Amino acid sequence: MNFKIGFCNFYTHFSPEQLCSRLREYKFDGIELWPNPLRDYGVKRWAKALENEGLACLQLCPYFNFMEGPLKISESRKQLEDFMRVAEGLACKRIRVFTGPPWGEGVVGADQATPEQWDAAIGSLREFCDCADQEDMELCLECHGGSLMENSSSTLRLISSIGRPNLTVNLQLPLLNEDWKVSLEKLGAHTSHLHIHNWTRGMGEGELTYFCEGAFDWKPVFQRLLVDFRRTVCFSIEHADHGQKHDPLETIKRDGPFLRRLLLSITT
């Protein structure tokens, strides 16, 4: 199969054992880990819990910052080194990339970035890709508002300028002021990972809800990536509490089997 089903974990109130057992039970292939759960439970405990349940660490999610000068870039370089060591301990081959803070103070979108900030991001990411390549690892640009990846054109600018095959796309739809079909056509050939959501009124419209109950039909997206573009993709459920409305464990129960059935209907 050319897909994996993942779960984005930035929650710290579930133990690795509890969460991994739940994910295995409901047809997930693995997990994404953010800094806080790693800090609270440690790499060895996560590695053991994943191994015991036959799951993979599908992506690690640090926060790089190339927008605020040499000191932040130096801190990001240290963060890359740290996360590459974590990745080795978890047998993970993918690290998520932001170009700066995705919200709050210091946010810099593609249209606001100065030529110097673009150059800093491109030069730093080229260096980071070369470091990651030595360990056969991939860096994955998360398309997100308030970053240099907030639309498809700016994302492609980074990819073409950096010119490294281990730089791919985490296509988090919808992109800023862009129809999802446009984003998919422009970035599908570079996409290896999706953070997926669903909403009560359609793509990006209404409130977050269970993937299986949302109004947007994701099948054409999956079909285009897996069949037409022939990509191998991880589809990862994000924001499983839907703005603190639902228990993430219930989301796992509802959305894991549904998502697997949907993906199998396309690929078999």
Q: Assign residue 188 the CATH number of its domain.
A: 3.20.20.150
DSSP per-residue letters across 114-159 = -HHHHHHHHHHHHHHHHHHHTTT-EEEEE--TTSTTSSHHHHHHHH
Hey, what are 154's tokens? 């700016």
**What's the CA gap between 7 and 9, in Å, rounded?**
6
Stated length of the chain: 268
pLDDT value of residue 4: 98
| C-alpha to C-alpha distance for 211 and 224, rounded to whole angstroms | 19
Measured CA to CA, the distance from residue 35 to residue 189 in angstroms comes to 29
Q: What was the pLDDT predicted at 257?
A: 98
pTM over 0.85: yes
pLDDT of residue 105: 87
From first to last of its 268 residues, the chain has per-residue pLDDT tens of: 799 999 999 999 999 999 999 999 999 999 999 999 999 999 999 999 999 999 999 999 999 999 999 999 999 999 999 999 999 999 999 999 999 998 888 899 999 999 999 999 999 999 999 999 999 999 999 999 999 999 999 999 999 999 999 999 999 999 999 999 999 999 999 999 999 999 999 999 999 999 999 999 999 999 999 999 999 999 999 999 999 999 999 999 999 999 999 999 999 8
Its domain, for residue 11, covers 3-267
- Cα separations (Å) of 83 from 17, 61, 79, 125, 126? 22, 9, 6, 15, 17
At 233 the three-state DSSP class reads: strand
- The count of domains in the chain is 1
